[in-house]
């Protein structure tokens, strides 16, 4: 009965095959696992969804939908490092929501042909940020040790990060680590925990906008989310066993390859 129900679910969606839906389960699962270990799962989901037939805008939307549950589960895993005054962070959460809404609305109102032309540049920029972003964090650590930067500057930086997160999002983790360093934080575990929470706020606002705008392909979303939850769980268990640097190197290679591929497609 269960097998026939699954086959009926697959066959109910036109122009699709079981292989397509296995793809839409496995790719988010692998991407969520990569996010748990080293980050960068978007470099896998976004281009593969385009190659599978989704438009760039839909691929961006569905990538966010697929990976958001993994962000929430990661936040739960970091809960013991959140011993801080959450009231101090409330303005940042509100800014994350506002920036995520602004970025996602901008994406939805971006003409499809324009966004298609942006794709290779977004992938290249995000890959460079992902690959060399540790130098940004190192720079802020050296030049702003325990800095009590003005709130206005911190809020402005976070709004820009949140806007980018709502619009595309790959690589925002590195940017937020640098921003938290500017706030005077130095405990890397606490910074990672706060980074995950802020990213979850950005993605939550983005998901709500995508849902209200009718941009979500629900029958795909169901299996993508299932894959993302599965991959996030497995990835969390592997995170202590797999060297993150190796995974980051692989993700960077994938990002540069995908950027080159889409540049050639645009030529």
pLDDT in tens, 157-192: 889 999 999 999 887 877 787 777 777 766 766 777
| pLDDT over threshold 70, residue 54 | yes
Please, which pLDDT band fits residue 247 given cuts at 50, 70 and 90?
Answer: confident
Decide: 34 and 252 in contact? Cβ < 8 Å: no
Give CA–CA dist 57/112, Å, rounded.
7
Decide: 69 and 228 in contact? Cβ < 8 Å: yes
Give CA–CA dist 73/165, Å, rounded.
19
| pLDDT over threshold 70, residue 11 | no
Give CA–CA dist 233/215, Å, rounded.
27
Whole-prediction pTM value? 0.77
| pLDDT over threshold 60, residue 9 | no
What is the pLDDT, as a whole number, of residue 147? 54
Sign of the CA dihedral running 24, 26, 32, 34: negative
Per-residue pLDDT tens digits for 72-88: 766 666 666 665 556 76
What letters, b where the CB count within 10 A reaches 16 and e where it falls short, cover 114-153?
A: ebbebbbebbbbbbebbbebeebbeebbeeeeeeeeeeee
What is the mean predicted confidence (pLDDT) over 9-38? 71
Per-residue pLDDT tens digits for 218-235: 888 888 988 888 887 777
| pLDDT over threshold 90, residue 99 | yes
């Amino acid at each position: 009965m269960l097998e026939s129900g699954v086959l009926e679910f697959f066959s109910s969606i036109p122009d699709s095959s079981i292989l397509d839906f296995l793809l839409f389960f496995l790719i988010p699962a692998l991407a969520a696992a990569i996010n748990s270990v080293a980050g960068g799962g978007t470099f896998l989901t976004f281009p593969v969804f385009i190659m599978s037939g989704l438009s760039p805008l839909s691929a961006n939307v569905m990538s966010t939908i697929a990976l958001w549950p993994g962000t929430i589960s990661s936040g739960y895993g970091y809960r013991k490092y959140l011993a801080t005054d959450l009231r101090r962070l409330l303005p940042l959460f509100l800014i994350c929501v506002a920036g995520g809404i602004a970025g996602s609305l901008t994406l939805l109102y971006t003409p499809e042909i324009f966004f298609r032309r942006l794709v290779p540049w977004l992938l290249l920029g995000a890959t460079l940020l992902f690959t060399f972003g540790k130098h940004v964090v190192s720079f802020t650590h050296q030049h702003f040790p325990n800095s009590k930067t003005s709130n206005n500057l911190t809020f402005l930086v976070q709004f820009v990060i949140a806007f980018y997160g709502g619009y595309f999002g790959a690589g925002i983790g590195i940017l937020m680590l640098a921003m938290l360093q500017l706030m005077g934080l130095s405990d890397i575990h606490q910074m990672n925990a706060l980074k995950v929470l802020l990213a979850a706020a950005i993605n939550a606002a983005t998901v709500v906008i995508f849902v209200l705008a009718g941009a979500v392909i629900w029958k795909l979303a169901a299996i993508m989310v299932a894959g993302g939850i599965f991959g996030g769980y497995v990835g969390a268990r592997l995170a202590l066993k797999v060297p993150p640097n190796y995974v980051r190197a692989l993700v960077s290679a994938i990002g540069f390859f995908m950027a080159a591929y889409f540049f050639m497609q645009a030529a």
